[in-house]
Amino acid sequence: MFGASRLGFWFRNPDRGARSSKVLVFYDPLTDGPGGNTDYYNSGDVMPSQVYSVIQSREAALGFTTTFVQSYAALNSMDLTQYAHLWDVGYASPYTTNPNDPTSKLTTYLQQGGAMFILGENANFGARDDAIDNFVTGLGGGSVARSGTDYAYSVAGTVQPEFLIANNNNSVTFNRPGTFTALGTGTAMTTAFTGTEYVAVMWKTGSLTSAPAGAVVSVLDINFFLGGNYEPDFIDNLSLSLNRR
């Protein structure tokens, strides 16, 4: 009976940051970007290393140290249990069509109680966003779907109170994002971008039937990491949500 009680407590109140101060950030250079571009990161758009630099700075401010891994092959050879949470910043990199598909490795990590962030993008990055949908559904996150509309504008949203852990700034702006139209067992982290479509979703601890001890966050917008759209408070809240939700 005591064991069952402890398990229930873990699902309700995880604190992955208490077990480790290490965070892993990764991507793979093989892409399936707009037009089927297999080398999208060298096309002049955002490099994942730019996103890593931002995450490294924000995580350091929260007391975490980061490691940057630049291939699925390297990721698959690592012991992921040492990390409080992971950030997948390969916004144009699919999973299953990569010869070093990380699905099994990541699934095991989540089943062992880990948490991960998966960066998506707008409707022009369909292969990557499909990978997110399929990955979450495969974890038992229910039916997940996205809009095919390219929303070429920005909207200011409000972060839901349960995800305000690092700070109380509930304002976030998304610029030309993708949107989820069906969340499965996920929870919208912010108010809707339009109608009943959401940019940021969390499948909290206990919501993934094939990895109930794990958690996943996905945001379909890279712009909040960069330039005039930079949202440091939102990034900090993402980090601690991964640890505690």
Q: Report how far residue 216's alpha carbon sits from residue 201's, in angstroms, rounded to the nearest whole number.
A: 8
Whether residue 203 has pLDDT greater than 60: yes
Residues 193-209 as b or e (16 or more Cβ within 10 Å = b) = beeebbbbbbbbbbbbe
Q: Return mean pLDDT, the chain.
A: 94
Cβ-proximal residues to 155 (8 Å cutoff; 6+ apart), any chain: 173, 174, 193, 194
pTM: 0.94
Tens digits of residue pLDDT in 10-29: 455 689 999 999 999 999 99
Tokens 């996103």 belong to which residue? 51
Cβ atoms of 213 and 205 within 8 Å: the answer is yes
Q: What is the CATH number of domain 2-244?
A: 3.40.50.880
pLDDT tens, position by position, 123-177: 999 999 999 999 999 999 999 999 999 999 999 999 999 999 999 999 999 999 9
Distance CA 84, CA 19 (A): 7
